Amino acid sequence: MIEQFYSIKHLSTAQLRELFSSYRNRGWVDYDYYKLMPEGVTPPDLTSEEIMFNMDGANPHNYFVFMQGMEDEKDGIMIGFGLTDYPSFGAFLHLEESLLDEIVEKYKLKATNVGVDYSLFGGRAGHYLN
């Protein structure tokens, strides 16, 4: 199991919008509430334009994670975007894992190894995580 986070705090709102619009057609979007909601309550289905309008580079709910072998998640990249007009839920862009190197290089993302158990990788964490 690999769950590697990358910092996107240095990206401006314009850069987040560009990232989303550049890769939106190469993945899929879903939404989730930050806290559990009563059964049957779902967030609204927003257009790509509504998502981009509600992005803010300073939103603490923005994040970027690469996952392999994680329970209940497809292998690949998930980028979370906090939404200014919808503070109770976020939009998540899911991308294929083959795009990781391209995006990391293009946006100069840095791995944040907080919470990673390096023993899981048999001393080869640098090979898998950076």
State the pLDDT at residue 44: 86
Question: Over 80: is that where the pLDDT of 115 sits?
Answer: no
pLDDT of 113 reads 67
| Rounded Cα gap, residues 110 and 10, in angstroms | 10
Over residues 58-92, the pLDDT tens digits come to: 999 999 999 988 888 889 999 999 999 999 899 99
Would you say 90 and 30 are in contact if contact means Cβ atoms under 8 Å apart? no
| 3-47: pLDDT as tens digits | 899 999 999 999 999 999 999 999 999 998 888 777 778 888 899
Q: Which amino acid is at 109?
A: L
Q: What distance in Å separates the CA atoms of residue 32 and residue 24, rounded to the nearest whole number?
A: 17
- 81 DSSP β-pair partners: 91
Global pTM reads 0.82
